[in-house]
Chain A
Amino acid sequence: MSAREQFEDHGLLRFLTCGSVDDGKSTLIGRLLFDTKTILADTLSAIAKTSEKRGMGAVDLSLLTDGLQAEREQGITIDVAYRYFSTGTRKYIIADAPGHEQYTRNMVTAASTANLAIILIDARKGILTQTRRHSKLASLVGIPHLLVAVNKMDLVDYSQATYEKIKADYLEFAGKLGIEDVRFIPLSALNGDMIVDRGDKLNWYDGPTLLDILEETPAAHTEHTEKFRFPVQYVCRPQDSANPDLHDYRGFMGRVEAGTLKVGDAVTVLPSGLTSTVKAIQIGGVDIPEAITEQSVTILLADEIDTSRGDMIVKSSEVPAAVKQIEATVCWLAETPMDRNRTYLIRHTTRDSKAKLAAIDHRLDVNTLEKVAAEKLAMNDIAQVTFKLAQPLFADPYLENRGTGAFIIIDESNNNTVGAGMIL
């Protein structure tokens, strides 16, 4: 029996952790890695040495997630770090987005690929402005599952009343934000209670442990049926003179952003609007009967249709709108504020279009969660805006489909990625 066949594979879950400084994010991640036995001996001994150097007694698990030298020197974390662990049945990618001034852009970046967010609350402090801000951002970025983790329960004598109060407070404002799927769990990251092991101090809590929740959370794209969307990345025309079979080969290569496709399905190629049927679906030149969401495949069509990078193949029964004006929620990422008079480049799927800001409807104050009037966009601002486009995009609302609802904004003068957008 091969090693692989020993366990079922429940795929991969990406999640992010958010909380204010000192809520215990790093400790929680360290604990997950530690208790799932992925912390390897030499990493541990390096940490033990550093803990000693800093005059700490016990091994500080939060040191596991500290990253670069520059940050270590300043003692802060400033960027998104990715961590990995596996339970044998599932692989996990953790996006760790730290706080501080750049928080909004870090969190939006980390959240963009996550399917679950853990929102940490310090049991002694309860719900803070940051808690509201993190929750709002998580819902804006369309994370389908929120898990509110009330941490440091050991410092409130593992009090059930404290936990219930925080839960009630949270549910009250979550209702206002329109957050639906939210679960709660009491924890002590430091002692490892209710993370992988239940511990013996939280017996009044009869729900699943944190890891059990992660193991059960549906992976992306499994919860509702989606329309088939296939942005063309690359066209394969081998034209190998030694192999006449390949003479007419035209493979449209890309990744299925949403939905599924079978051989024989009727499809439309955008922007031309020409239609055909699927002759074959391949990976590496080998036929497969069907392509599913997130799979990278090559599509061959029955008819010769001129198609190139930036085009999109869709099912003929579910053609998206071609839009030359988009309304979107934008998070500004660059230190240089957005210049209303300039033209930017929008990259949506594999397609680029020049874009100009037509209007700023409002800015979201991420602390009060109020809509305020705005004339400009600076770093970490989140606003609802309207862009005019030079080229049509084939877009879906972001909350329906992240893959075809998201875009980035590029400043062509320095090629930087300066903004992130979600189509309304």
Chain B
Amino acid sequence: MTQRSTLSHLDWLEAEAIHIMREVAGQCANPVLLFSGGKDSICMLRIAEKAFRPGKFPFPLMHIDTGHNYREVVAFRDKRAAELGERLIVRSVEDSMKRGTVVLKHEGESRNKHQSVTLLEAIEEFGFDACIGGARRDEEKARAKERIFSFRDEFGQWDPKNQRPELWSLYNARSHKGENIRAFPISNWTEMDVWQYIEREKLELPSIYFAHKRPVVLRQGSIVPVNVPLMNGELTNLPKAGEEIIDLQVRFRTVGDISCTAPVESDADNVEKIVFETATTTITERGATRLDDQTSEASMEQRKKEGYF
């Protein structure tokens, strides 16, 4: 390793993220790291390794599964947790539906926003006082002012007017029982930083991040994947009557609930090509790929107030 007097931008971001994770471990009694199998949380696992190895992570991993996740991602999630030898907790929105705490407006409604309910139930079940998440400030306007340590009240609510001032790198993770801290170690990363980090660290990703052919329809200007197989083999996202199915070369920039994650057209079949594509791309990540964020500019803010991550 060559030594230099200042850190490169990736080294700096990594060092900051490690520092934040260690603050959570040092200040909180019972934290958890949210791991979805997506690219941001994959970076977080590498950061956790750099922060805590040769020790074990001082927190378990947890995924809130909507039951509508891409099979490739779920398989990757389980494989990665096993390779690391860390404990993975999975809590599912479908269980909340069975309990009656989540009620869908109609069968096809996106389960994405309902993750908040299941997350709060899991926080209560395990008594977590902090959740480490992979959100970034560049993802969406409402996140630009988010603290690195964000305070949530007993109902998991985020009150933009009641956040603690955050100065220097002195973080205040104190909370009373029932309250909760969300900590975002990669707040200061952009999508480009994430891809550069994946490239540098040679991180493995679920296959759907790379260009592949898949059946899609074009719906209101978005590419919508159709006939997507679930874990149990059942197909979801069926095309509507009259829609023309085309086989398109696509990749995903974010992977979440199938009902609200759209791919982009791309030939980038390796990380290096994705880095180049990201550098020259003309559409922001959420704009391109989150079908549910487009309804209102401020819809993310609304969901955060309700306890969304």
Using a CB–CB cutoff of 8 Å, the interface residues on chain A facing chain B are: 2-4, 9, 11-12, 40-43, 46, 50, 66-70, 72, 79-84, 86, 88, 90-91, 93, 105, 108-109, 112-113, 219, 221-222, 233-234, 236-238, 240, 246, 249, 251, 253-255, 283-285, 288-290, 292-296, 309, 333, 347-350, 402-403, 406-408, 410, 412, 415-417, 420
Contact = CB atoms under 8 A, between A and B. Distances in A.
Contacts of B19: 233, 254-255, 296
Given A11-B9, A284-B50, A350-B23, 5 more contacts: A46-B297, A112-B168, A233-B25, A240-B54, A406-B168
B287 A42 contact: yes
Given A234-B25, A292-B3, A420-B165, A82 B13 contact: no
A408 B170 contact: yes
A293 B5 CA distance: 8
B20 to A, nearest CB: 9
Contacts of A251: 54-55
Interface in B278-297: 279, 281-284, 287-288, 297
B52 to A, nearest CB: 7
Given A3-B272, A290-B3, A295-B11, A233 B165 contact: no
Contacts of A68: 141-142, 145, 160, 298, 301
Interface in B293-309: 297-298, 301-302
A407 B164 CA distance: 14
A83 B144 contact: yes
Nearest to A66: B141
A17 to B, nearest CB: 14
Contact of B15 (A3, A46, A288, A294): A294
A69 B298 contact: yes
Interface string B183-203: 000011010110010011000
B72 interface: no
Contact of A406 (B10, B167, B283): B167
Given A12-B9, A112-B167, A292-B5, A81 B26 contact: no
Contact of A82 (B14, B144, B196): B144
Interface in B168-189: 168-170, 172, 174-176, 187-188
A109 B170 CA distance: 11
Contacts of B276: 3
Given A46-B297, A67-B142, A417 B26 contact: no
B270 to A, nearest CB: 11
B196 A3 contact: yes
> Chain A's interface: helix, strand, loop or mixed, by majority?
mixed
Given A3-B272, A12-B12, A41-B282, A70 B161 contact: yes
A205 B301 CA distance: 44
Nearest to A233: B22
Given A4-B199, A285-B53, A296-B22, A40 B281 contact: yes
A356 B51 CA distance: 35
Nearest to A72: B298
Contacts of B196: 3-4
Contact of B6 (A11, A109, A240): A11
A233 B23 contact: yes
A265 to B, nearest CB: 15
Given A66-B141, A82-B137, A84-B188, A417 B6 contact: no
A103 to B, nearest CB: 13
A86 B144 CA distance: 16
B260 to A, nearest CB: 17
A417 B162 CA distance: 11
A222 B3 contact: no
Contact of B145 (A42, A79, A90): A79
A347 B172 contact: yes
Given A221-B6, A292-B5, A11 B12 contact: yes
B8 interface: yes
A91 B5 CA distance: 17
Contacts of A347: 170, 172
Contact of A43 (B8, B22, B284): B284
A416 B172 CA distance: 8
Nearest to A49: B297
A18 to B, nearest CB: 16
* Top-10 shortest CB links A-B: A42-B287, A296-B18, A284-B50, A69-B298, A415-B174, A41-B282, A91-B9, A112-B167, A285-B53, A285-B54
Contacts of A333: 165
B284 A42 contact: yes
Given A238-B54, A296-B22, A42 B15 contact: no
Nearest to B148: A82
A50 B11 CA distance: 38
Nearest to B304: A68
B54 A246 contact: yes
Contact of A289 (B3, B188, B199, B287): B3
B170 A80 contact: no
Nearest to A89: B9
A54 B192 CA distance: 33
Contact of B284 (A40, A296, A410): A40
A295 B15 contact: yes
Contact of B188 (A79, A82, A255): A82
A318 to B, nearest CB: 18
Contacts of A40: 281-284, 287
A350 B26 CA distance: 9
